[in-house]
Amino acid sequence: MRNLTEQLTQYAAYHRDTRNIGTHFIGIPLIVVALAVLLSRPSFVPAALALPVPLSPAWLLFGAATLYYLVLDVPLGLMMAIVSAACVAFGAWLAQLNTAAWLGGGVALFVIGWIFQFVGHIAWEHRKPAFVDDLIGLVIGPLFVLAEALFSVGWRPELRAAIEDKVGPTRINPPHRQEARHSAR
């Protein structure tokens, strides 16, 4: 199993343009919330457990992802656990509404999130999404967004440096565009 640095480096290799990363700051949270919403039905409250929210497929998915995040890195995994709990709580709330509101809201969030993802990759990154080559990218994406947000405030500079040593720093213009400009001169 790859460690945190390897997972984030693999994902970061597909995300070096800052504009694409920016679209991921919108798209990935929308997709994550959409999954929490759409997987919050069916739900049930086990009589033997005194839980504040009903159990649902969303809890199973987010619980499994959180366990994986904790295995990769406890502090980051704990932060993702908080984010995940908030997403699932929102999903459970929306799932209590009528079917049209629940389904319409979940599908709209999902579609809009993926539009942001693909715009970032097509317009700026000029590279396919990471999950196309490695499905674990679907799980690492939310962790990457959280790590990038934390890097921007100075969190774990050694981790950021290790990633950038392997894939280079983020940039605004992809290298192939810069090379094309130089060769045209």
Average pLDDT of the chain is: 87
Per-residue confidence (pLDDT) for residue 56, from 0 to 100: 92
Q: Say which residues have a Cβ less than 8 Å from residue 65's Cβ, sequence separation at least 6.
A: 80, 84, 139, 142
Q: Say which residues have a Cβ less than 8 Å from residue 88's Cβ, sequence separation at least 6.
A: 36, 40, 53, 56, 58, 59, 62
Q: Which residue did the predictor score with more confidence, 7 or 124?
A: 7
Closest CA to 35 of 95, 106, 98, 105: 106
Per-residue confidence (pLDDT) for residue 173, from 0 to 100: 59
Query: What is the count of structural domains for the chain?
Result: 1
Say what the alpha-carbon torsion angle 150, 146, 69, 131 is, to the nearest 10 degrees: -130
Per-residue confidence (pLDDT) for residue 185, from 0 to 100: 42
Closest CA to 110 of 122, 102, 121: 102
Average pLDDT over residues 81-88: 95
Quickly state the pLDDT bin for 181 (edges 50, 70, 90): very low
> Which residues constitute the domain of residue 59?
4-44+53-184
* DSSP assignments along 7-39, one per residue: HHHHHHTT--BHHHHHHHHHHHHHHHHHHHHHT
Q: What is the pLDDT of residues 123-167, one digit of tens each?
A: 877 777 777 777 788 999 999 999 999 999 999 999 999 999 999
Q: Point out the least confidently predicted range of 2-6, 108-112, 124-128, 149-153.
A: 124-128
Give me the phi and psi of 26, to 5 degrees please: -100, -50
Which of 52-56, 143-147, 168-172 reaches the highest mean pLDDT? 143-147
